[in-house]
Amino acid sequence: MTNKYYETAQTDLDFFFKPQSIAIIGASGDAKKPGGRPIEGLLTKGYAGKIFPVNPRYERIAGLKCYPSVIDISEPVDLAIISVPAKLVLDMFRDCVKKKVKAVIIFSSGFAETGEEGNRLQQEITDLARQHSIRVLGPNCLGIINIPGSVMASFGTIVNLDPVLPTSLGFVTQSGAYGVMVYARALQQGVGFSSFVSVGNEADLEFSDFIGYLLEDPNTKLIGGYMEGAKNGSKLRKVAERAAELQKPILLIKVGRSSAGSRAASSHTGSLAGDDLVYEAFFRQMGIIRIETLDELTSFAILHRSARKAAGRNVAILSASGGGGVVLADKCEGVGLNVPELTGDTKCRLEQVLPSFGSARNPIDPTGQILTEPTLMAKCMEVILKDDNIDMVILNVGLNHEGADVMVEGMIEQYNASDKPIVFVTTDTTEDPESEKLVNKIQNTGIPLMFEGYHAVDAMEKLVWYQERAAKIVQKDKQVDKSSEAQLPVKTKQLLKNSKNLTEYQCKQLLKAYGLPITQEGLATSAEMAIGIAADIGYPVVMKIQSPEILHKTEAKGIKLNLASAKEVKDAYHDIISNAKNYDPQAEIHGVLVQEMVGGGVEVIVGSSRDPVFGNAIIFGLGGIFVEALKDVALRIAPITRVDVEEMIKEIKGYAVLEGLRGRPAANLEAITDVILKISRFVIEYDIKELDINPLIVTDKGAKIVDALIIRN
Amino acid sequence: MTNKYYETAQTDLDFFFKPQSIAIIGASGDAKKPGGRPIEGLLTKGYAGKIFPVNPRYERIAGLKCYPSVIDISEPVDLAIISVPAKLVLDMFRDCVKKKVKAVIIFSSGFAETGEEGNRLQQEITDLARQHSIRVLGPNCLGIINIPGSVMASFGTIVNLDPVLPTSLGFVTQSGAYGVMVYARALQQGVGFSSFVSVGNEADLEFSDFIGYLLEDPNTKLIGGYMEGAKNGSKLRKVAERAAELQKPILLIKVGRSSAGSRAASSHTGSLAGDDLVYEAFFRQMGIIRIETLDELTSFAILHRSARKAAGRNVAILSASGGGGVVLADKCEGVGLNVPELTGDTKCRLEQVLPSFGSARNPIDPTGQILTEPTLMAKCMEVILKDDNIDMVILNVGLNHEGADVMVEGMIEQYNASDKPIVFVTTDTTEDPESEKLVNKIQNTGIPLMFEGYHAVDAMEKLVWYQERAAKIVQKDKQVDKSSEAQLPVKTKQLLKNSKNLTEYQCKQLLKAYGLPITQEGLATSAEMAIGIAADIGYPVVMKIQSPEILHKTEAKGIKLNLASAKEVKDAYHDIISNAKNYDPQAEIHGVLVQEMVGGGVEVIVGSSRDPVFGNAIIFGLGGIFVEALKDVALRIAPITRVDVEEMIKEIKGYAVLEGLRGRPAANLEAITDVILKISRFVIEYDIKELDINPLIVTDKGAKIVDALIIRN
């Protein structure tokens, strides 16, 4: 990563995660108060650095010397927590500036989230911070905790909870209370955190900065988060690219999918919500795993920490309950995993091991036989795990029966002898003491264990999806796009720069100059000229009015199709001009476009529009009914690569149409790919606000832009 | 219900659920053995009837007199359990016949599920049972338990579990082991069962019989089940109709959605899996709630037992965590519930109650203020519950803070003062003793309480969906379909009966005779005749070869479109005849159909095909690309009503096309409805195996069948 801001943030953020000393401004002896809880947390969790309570009303707090002001502290202060009413925060912050504090957390609320005045106050603090190179977390946040460093710089109740090992999950949240809930429940489910950051109003440091920091943290193996909206899309993109490089998955609960949700999210911390469809596409493109529930986060974390990789999507299900096996198989195929029937050697060897009434087909059903033959599960595992066609295994058995300990022993042995992802699903919870012992034993050996089959399947699918995505992202970083090195000629650039509204003809000339394929055509300013152009092109032709003022050509009766002779072209020319003048007497008329009539092929659309968060979004879909009735479009954020475009094309529901229905030839996908790639570069290079190619007509031979609209800004 | 079989089953089944006496054939003193566990269960759970262990090897078992044979019992035996090896079962069953036992449960496996021989043995027992009017549950089953009657006629471990109140869930399962898992886990989640039935191989009594019985059981308020396939679709349909009448929801985990799942399901208990899409449609049509996980069952049961009804889909979310509220709002809209913004009086009054930094918009955010003002939640509830525009409420708060007891007190009061469905979501589980006390208090007052927000939302949506469906099913039972009382004329009936392959012309004549709208057309057997017909219809016309042997008319070059003159018709006639003869010299040629050329309009398809389980499935969709590329069809099981058809039409993705795109007029939905309704009656009345109308062309004025194919059998 060479991005300057990102690098700066990286080292600056050490003062939040690994401060040598912490001052708490607005310190309190009451551990339930925001100014008291961090002190208690730092002391009880064994923070090794120095703690400086600041409060003019006390001499000592929690046995520590208390300072009237942060300025009175003689030693250097790395991190200051400000926990005083909003109106006092600016003064306290000025003290921090004087004291040359490196990093400040502002717990206090009453800033941008409350309206105009709070916003001004927040801006004043931010300006001051930027001026003096102090980094700020908050305001209106719960702060930060870093478990390995025992940095308990938060007033959330989570400060009091005992850490769970391994401390591998980094969590960043735009909602303090929701984050606390996630943290507490995840611990209950045995998932431990490395760090927790509540970002509040993000006056200075934002969500992506902390994700970026945690990616480089060796303790953090995966990252979770709750997000209402990103402040800066390109920063989030850089972070996601880095995550793919490091193979550290990011799982985000991104809210605002619904109208009520986005209404609430935008009023909640005042973040820019943006269009959820764009987020959805961006996450998919960048390998960010979008989740909706805590269970998805914890089950993924449990599977991920086994540090095993799946070679593919083939799952074997070994279930002591036939019904349970079928339910799991349905769920697997429902999320896009395969449950292939076992064949050849594997089937043969399984049949030797299984009783005659068992099933070796996958799901594999060892039946009640496991009760009388406790080593049967291990025997089955041994056979299955050797099958190269099986990438992952789900084990589904009860634990509260005789011989369960022997059974588990054998299963653990098989688990350890393999490097494939394996999940143990058992519905026997820890309520029964014998089962509890076995559950603990399984967990202690590191086998991912879950109590709900569907969570196991979800986690497996996410793991495979993530591996596939991350590989593609890394691969495409290396991929050089040579599809075109086109540059617009100077004259064309001028046109783009100076025109307010471009006509269709101008747009297409621009695109042509950039190397894109357009229809054969010419602009006629007289009927005679039109006839000449038509003759050059060959009949039939299409004619369209060209005026920057007339955007709706059909409405203005400014289009004539299927003109087959000089006579028809001549009449059409006069009709079109006269219709246009009737429609808008003031309109500046450039002339009439005479264009070849493209027959056959499939109509597709390629477009781009600028998203306020992420920049140029590129859209692809089939034209006509597909886009109008089905909203069937694929979306990505520019810049995009060939890999992205190939996915876009295959992702639309109407893909079968491009493959050629009823024996029609398949559309030339290479030609579509080329157009989309060039458009994605063009809109960035020339800062295009909106571009609309509708339709691009694609045959088996190639593609032609039939109509286009470009809006500069 | 007037169905004879159903009524019979009803009283017969009393001997399973309320027997006065139970014999256990193959009784054992070891409570872990299948012949021992029911005895232990009956004794320890306080079964009030008589228990007769049967085993020639023992004098006494578990303190009870043991009989050498069931025949030796002097008193009457209502229910006998047979738990002996498969090869002895037939003899034991013969003894039961002699003893005039009313009902028999066969635990033993080794029957139809093992292959041909087992199947024969099973059939022999079934025949004997039918002959002597003995009803049988099993073989290869875990048996039955009925909690209120303490009838523990099962060898599942669930016999040992303590019942949970209220005992309102009846459960029927085609997988014993999976059923046991569901039972045990549901109890852990506080959901109590009235009865549990493992149906095994369904040699005599089947899945639907038990559902039917439980519907009439006053203890049972809702029914759950695990299903691999229905033996008899029409019986399941009757049961579902009765359930809607009684307003008792049925929730089924129906497996076999995936290829691996259906492969396993069919091999598992040998049930006919059938096409999952047909099940899916049938469930939707009949108001059966399809579920995939145990959590869906238990959360629905918890909500349902509060016995409250929602007037609509509008939800208010009152969440102490802003983020949590947004997550819930997203989830609500994601499943089709609304989270309307609050307005007017409600908003005004909420704003008076809430702090200035709270939000009254929905989700309602009372903020951390609830910590200092414990009555705030109740105050908000009071305002929201009075809003007629709000149908349901979700409360989302933590319980482990000071003042939580006062807060809960007030919330319970508000809950009791309302009759709207309300769910309490708290992420504070019972691990903290203070929270546990409050959780218990909430649960004891009957407030539905859940630990996961998404389960609460799912349950609410299912409740509303169920209410809507049940109302429609009951309403449509009363609805008389007067759309047509058409009968085919005798001659036409003969045609249908005697023809093997019908030509397009014959099919359309049949449909016309039944009152369906077809194109203007006539069958020409000479060029002159063709010209005459064309003149009557008016140009342009379409001409098509008519031969029972030529099914693919296009392939045979047997179709000509857009013929505009007598000359063209004449030439076309000769061409078509000669092409047909070239294509198949043996083909019997009826002539050439001369048909009006229908222009404009939308092409739709209406079809029917016979499903082995459910009978005639009716299919509707848009023609062309929609059905070919998108498989975009709606499906129902005949008979269907107007309500069903209206839903079918709106359900397809391409519905927007029927509504009229780009200012085109909307298609005449009434005309489509009429065609579908008549077709659904026609295929039943004349026992049609397959019928395909493709296309039916629909304009704003009406609809016309342009091509049709009927296959009798």
Q: In this structure, are B459 and B313 located in the same domain?
A: yes
Q: In this structure, are A158 and A174 located in the same domain?
A: yes
Whole-number Å distance between alpha carbons of B411 and B391: 17
Angle made by CA atoms B73, B76, B77, in degrees to the nearest 5 = 85
Summarize pLDDT for A648-702 with one digit per residue, the tens: 999 998 898 898 877 788 999 999 999 999 999 999 998 899 999 999 999 999 9
Total CB pairs under 8 A between chain A and B: 236
Domain CATH for A565: 3.30.1490.20
Is A322–B625 a contact, with Cβ atoms under 8 angstroms apart?
no
Over residues B67-74, the mean pLDDT reads 97
pLDDT of res. A526 = 96
CA distance to partner chain B, nearest, from residue A493 (Å)? 36
Whole-number Å distance between alpha carbons of B636 and B644: 8
Whole-number Å distance between alpha carbons of B459 and A642: 44
Tell me phi and psi for residue A593, to 5 degrees. -80, 130
Is A268–B323 a contact, with Cβ atoms under 8 angstroms apart?
yes
pLDDT band (50, 70, 90) for residue B18: very high
Residue in chain B lying closest to A314 (CA) = B260
CA distance to partner chain B, nearest, from residue A257 (Å)? 6
Q: Is A526 on the interface with B (CB under 8 A)?
A: no
Largest CA distance in chain A: 101
A456 close to A462: Cβ distance less than 8 angstroms? no
Comparison of pLDDT for B93 and B472, the residue scoring more: B93
Flag whether B509 is in a domain.
no
pLDDT of res. A272 = 38
Q: In this structure, are A354 and A297 located in the same domain?
A: no
Q: CA torsion, points A328, A333, A337, A338, in degrees to nearest 10?
A: 90
Flag whether B500 is in a domain.
no
Nearest residue to A140 (alpha-carbon basis) of A195, A97, A202: A202
Whole-number Å distance between alpha carbons of B628 and A202: 50
Q: Which residues contact B166 (CB under 8 A, 6 or more apart)?
A: B192, B221, B305
- pLDDT > 90 in chain B, percent: 78
Q: In this structure, are A83 and A228 located in the same domain?
A: yes
- pLDDT > 70 in chain A, percent: 94
CA distance to partner chain B, nearest, from residue A177 (Å)? 5
CA distance to partner chain A, nearest, from residue B491 (Å)? 38
With the C-alpha atoms ordered A209, A213, A215, A216, is the resulting torsion angle positive or negative? positive
Q: Is A661 on the interface with B (CB under 8 A)?
A: yes
Flag whether A524 is in a domain.
no
Chain B residues whose CB is inside 8 A of the A185 CB are: 427, 429
Q: In this structure, are A293 and A151 located in the same domain?
A: yes
Domain stops at, among A302, A326, A357: A302
Mean pLDDT (chain B) is 91
Question: Coil, strand or helix: which one is A196?
Answer: strand
Q: Which of A330, A625, A630 sits opposite B257 (nearest CB)?
A: A330
Tell whether the model's pLDDT for residue A485 goes beyond 70.
no
Flag whether B240 is in a domain.
yes
pLDDT of res. B67 = 98
Over residues A476-501, the mean pLDDT reads 66
Tell me phi and psi for residue B192, to 5 degrees. -95, 150
Summarize pLDDT for B403-462 with one digit per residue, the tens: 999 999 999 999 999 999 999 999 866 567 888 899 999 999 999 999 999 999 999 999
Chain B residues whose CB is inside 8 A of the A654 CB are: 625, 629-630
Q: In this structure, are A202 and A223 located in the same domain?
A: yes
A135 close to A104: Cβ distance less than 8 angstroms? yes
Q: In this structure, are A360 and A377 located in the same domain?
A: yes
Its domain, for residue A698, covers 602-711
pLDDT of res. B424 = 97
Domain stops at, among A236, A267, A302: A302
User: Cis ω on the peptide bond leading into residue B148 (within 30° of 0)?
Assistant: no
Q: Is A340 on the interface with B (CB under 8 A)?
A: yes
pLDDT of res. A4 = 42
Chain A residues whose CB is inside 8 A of the B294 CB are: 452
What token pair was written down for B175?
Answer: 């997988």
Summarize pLDDT for A398-409 with one digit per residue, the tens: 888 889 999 999
Whole-number Å distance between alpha carbons of B570 and A35: 98
Flag whether B89 is in a domain.
yes
Is B653–A662 a contact, with Cβ atoms under 8 angstroms apart?
no
Beta bridge partners of B517: none
Is A333–B260 a contact, with Cβ atoms under 8 angstroms apart?
yes
How many CA atoms, within 13 angstroms, populate the side-chain half-sphere of residue A524? 28
Q: In this structure, are A265 and A319 located in the same domain?
A: no
How many folded domains does chain B comprise?
4
Over residues A550-562, the mean pLDDT reads 91
Over residues B487-512, the mean pLDDT reads 83
The DSSP annotation for A160-188 comes to GSPP-SSEEEEEEES-HHHHHHHHHHHHH
Flag whether B346 is in a domain.
yes
The b/e string for B346-360 (b: 16+ C-beta within 10 A; e otherwise) is: bbebbeebbbebbbb
Q: Which helix (H) or strand (E) holds B435?
A: helix B433-444
Whole-number Å distance between alpha carbons of B142 and A277: 49
Over residues A113-126, the mean pLDDT reads 94
Count of Cβ atoms closer than 10 Å to residue A48 Cβ: 9
Q: In this structure, are A439 and A583 located in the same domain?
A: no
The DSSP annotation for B80-138 comes to EEE-S-HHHHHHHHHHHHHHT-SEEEE----SGGG-HHHHHHHHHHHHHHHHTT-EEE-
Q: In this structure, are B110 and B247 located in the same domain?
A: yes
| ipTM of the complex in this document | 0.88
Flag whether A706 is in a domain.
yes
Domain CATH for B45: 3.40.50.720
pLDDT of res. A1 = 35
Q: In this structure, are A571 and A606 located in the same domain?
A: no
What token pair was written down for A211?
Answer: 């994700």
Q: Which of A178, A327, A662 sits opposite B324 (nearest CB)?
A: A178
Domain CATH for A652: 3.30.470.20
Domain CATH for A395: 3.40.50.261
Enumerate residues 256 to 315 of chain B having a beta carbon within 8 A of any beta carbon in chain A. Answer: 256-261, 263-265, 267-269, 292-295
- Assign residue A501 a region: left if phi > 0, alpha if psi is -120 to 50, beta otherwise? beta
Q: Is A361 on the interface with B (CB under 8 A)?
A: yes
Tell whether the model's pLDDT for residue B695 goes beyond 50.
yes
Pairing of strands B315-319, B289-291: unpaired
Helix ranges (H only) for B203-321 are: 207-216, 233-246, 259-268, 276-286, 294-304
Q: In this structure, are A160 and A269 located in the same domain?
A: yes
Flag whether A334 is in a domain.
yes
How many Å from the N-terminal Cα to the C-terminal Cα in chain B?
Answer: 31
Whole-number Å distance between alpha carbons of A129 and A102: 10
Whole-number Å distance between alpha carbons of B330 and B323: 11
How many CA atoms, within 13 angstroms, populate the side-chain half-sphere of residue B101? 31
Over residues A349-366, the mean pLDDT reads 89
Whole-number Å distance between alpha carbons of B289 and B301: 12
Domain stops at, among B575, B596, B617: B596
Range with the largest mean pLDDT of A560-569, B627-636, B653-662: A560-569
pLDDT band (50, 70, 90) for residue A476: low
